């Protein structure tokens, strides 16, 4: 589904991604771990072009999206949901409006249809009673579940998660991870940057270890955690587990 | 004493229908302010969006350059001088309605201040809001209109209201091009009755009441817009 070829990204003189070659198949749940500053968030943000790659190709279903025009990029982004560390809900809109804004503005659904869909999604994330409230009235965990619902409203083919639980109080991490597990079980293609090793072990079809702008090692979760080969990964795992 | 005061009141406002100087002047003041605010808002928003878009995306290089010159010139010179230049230089050789000239001058002036207020509001919105909009497939313009501007507008509302209150009071220099506005009306009464206190205090009171009314309306609007901040 996504083919990344020799992806490089620099911020000024700082080279953050130093050539990444990866393929993400439909239905895969790829979890990316690694120390901070390793480039994992940048990699994720390159996939939907929130960061413009300096070099390399990103093929989404065969089309190199780094060569597309702005309006074509917007079309691709509709099909890639993204969940942010800091939720980025729209504070001036009700929860329901947060979810219906994009489908309605983009002419994909009428307001009435979008409202129905929003309520379905709110049921799914267990927050139907919050439909008419504003983001400021919600807890962090609830906000993140709404952010996931908002992405799902676009019926994306793949979901990108950028440290979705890092800004949450510990007692709220579980509710978000549970929702993500549900999504995974529904067959959603997911790319997740996280520090939640338990989630990686349980949900990932593949775990990727990034350090210093390159993918150092990757494997299925069993192999990855029980039998790491690279010394840097061994050190990382011994620190986080 | 009281008789004296009543006589003064009569002389300044009732005799020869002198109150009409104030009401006619007030109408001119309100017309100038209202339309200048409209010009200022529209033009100011356009400039702000051009400037903010340039800051965020690098587009509109040339337009941004002209906007910057405009802001520098307008904010760097007194509004009275601008008014005089527009009346005597720009429209010096044509016969044009003075009120129209004043509307244009104060509108163009206000736009520069509105532009910087709105731009600061746009830049104060967290970049995550832009990213959230983009990640959903919204275009830059759609994100700007549906997500950024409503939040920016709310944040800068007090500053905008302040700008309009300043504008209302600034129109009192319209007399420089012989427009009979509220201030000028009071001054005409003074020149006829040789009494400064009552007409000028009356003028001041009318401005004060208008400003207080505006302030109250803004507070109401702010409260309405703040409903999504409730916790």
- Kindly report, residue by residue over A138-195, the tens digit of the pLDDT: 999 999 999 999 999 999 999 999 999 999 999 999 999 999 999 999 999 999 999 9
Which of A93, A105, A134 is closest, CB to CB, to B142? Answer: A105
Q: What is the pLDDT of residue B123?
A: 94
- Here the tokens at position A65 are 């999206």
Residues of chain B with pLDDT under 50: none
Helix (H, G, I), strand (E, B) or coil at A186: coil
Alpha helices in A106-230 (DSSP H): 111-124, 140-152, 170-185, 197-203, 221-226
* B212 burial via Cβ count (<10 Å: 0-12, 13-18, 19+): exposed
> Which residue is it, tokens 């759609």?
B142
CB interface of B with A, residues 154-173, below 8 Å: 154
* H or E segment to which residue A231 belongs: helix A231-240
| Contact status of A89 with chain B (Cβ, < 8 Å) | yes
Reported ipTM:
0.91
Q: What is the pLDDT of residues B23-49, one digit of tens each?
A: 999 999 999 999 999 999 999 999 999
DSSP state for residue A81 in the 8-state scheme: E
Give me the DSSP letters along A92-130: TS-HHHHHHHHHHHTTSS-HHHHHHHHHHHHHHTT-GGG
Please work out, in degrees rounded to the nearest 5, the angle formed at the alpha carbon of residue B221 by the alpha carbons of B217 and B222.
115
Q: What is the pLDDT of residue B67?
A: 96
Torsion of CA A65, A68, A72, A73, to 10 degrees: 50
Q: What φ, ψ does residue B217 adopt, rounded to 5°?
A: -60, -40
Rg, chain A, Cα only: 18
Q: What is the pLDDT of residue A143?
A: 96
| CA-wise closest residue to A237 among A20, A65, A86, A34 | A34
Question: What percentage of chain B reaches a pLDDT higher than 70?
Answer: 98
Domains defined for chain B, CATH in brackets: 20-230 (1.10.3720.10)
CA distance B211 to chain A (A): 29
**Beta strand A55-60 pairing with A2-11:** antiparallel
């Amino acid at each position: 589904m996504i083919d990344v070829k020799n992806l490089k990204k620099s911020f000024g003189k700082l080279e953050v991604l130093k050539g990444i070659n990866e393929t993400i198949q439909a239905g895969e749940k790829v979890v990316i771990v690694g120390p901070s500053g390793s480039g994992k968030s940048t990699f994720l943000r390159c996939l939907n072009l929130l960061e413009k790659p300096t070099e390399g190709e990103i093929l989404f279903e065969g089309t190199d999206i780094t060569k597309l025009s702005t309006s074509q990029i917007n079309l691709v982004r509709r099909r890639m949901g993204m969940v942010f560390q800091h939720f980025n809900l729209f504070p001036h809109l009700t929860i329901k409006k947060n979810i219906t804004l994009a489908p309605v503005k983009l002419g994909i659904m009428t307001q009435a249809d979008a409202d129905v869909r929003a309520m379905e999604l709110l049921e799914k994330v267990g927050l139907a009673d919050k439909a008419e409230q504003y983001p400021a009235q919600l807890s962090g965990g609830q906000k993140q579940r709404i952010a996931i619902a908002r992405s799902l409203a676009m019926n994306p083919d793949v979901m990108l998660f950028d440290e979705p639980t890092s800004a949450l109080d510990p007692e709220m991490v579980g509710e978000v991870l549970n929702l993500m597990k549900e999504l995974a079980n529904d067959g959603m293609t997911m790319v997740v940057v996280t520090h939640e090793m338990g989630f990686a072990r349980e949900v990932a079809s593949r775990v990727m270890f990034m350090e210093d702008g390159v993918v150092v090692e990757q494997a299925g979760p069993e192999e990855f955690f029980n039998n790491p080969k690279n010394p840097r990964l061994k050190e990382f795992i011994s620190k986080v587990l | 004493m009281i008789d004296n005061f009543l006589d003064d009141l009569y002389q300044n406002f009732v005799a020869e229908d002198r109150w009409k100087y104030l009401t006619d002047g007030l109408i001119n003041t309100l017309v100038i302010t209202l339309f200048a605010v409209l010009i200022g808002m529209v033009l100011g928003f356009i400039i702000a969006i051009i400037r903010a878009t340039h800051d965020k995306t690098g587009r509109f290089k040339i337009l941004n350059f002209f906007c910057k010159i405009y802001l520098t010139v307008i904010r760097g010179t007194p509004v009275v001088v601008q008014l005089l230049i527009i009346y005597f230089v720009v429209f010096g050789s044509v016969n044009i309605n003075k009120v129209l000239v004043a509307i244009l001058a104060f509108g163009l002036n206000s736009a520069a201040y509105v532009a910087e207020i709105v731009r600061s509001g746009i830049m104060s919105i967290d970049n995550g809001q832009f990213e959230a909009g983009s990640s959903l497939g919204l275009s830059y313009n759609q994100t700007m209109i549906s997500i950024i501007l409503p939040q920016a507008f709310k944040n800068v509302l007090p500053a905008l209201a302040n700008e309009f209150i300043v504008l209302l009071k600034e129109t009192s220099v319209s007399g420089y091009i012989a427009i009979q506005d509220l201030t000028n009306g009071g001054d005409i009464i003074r020149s006829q009755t040789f009494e400064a206190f009552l007409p000028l205090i009356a003028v001041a009171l009318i401005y004060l009441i208008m400003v207080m009314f505006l302030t109250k309306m803004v507070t109401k609007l702010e409260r309405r817009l703040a409903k999504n901040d409730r916790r």
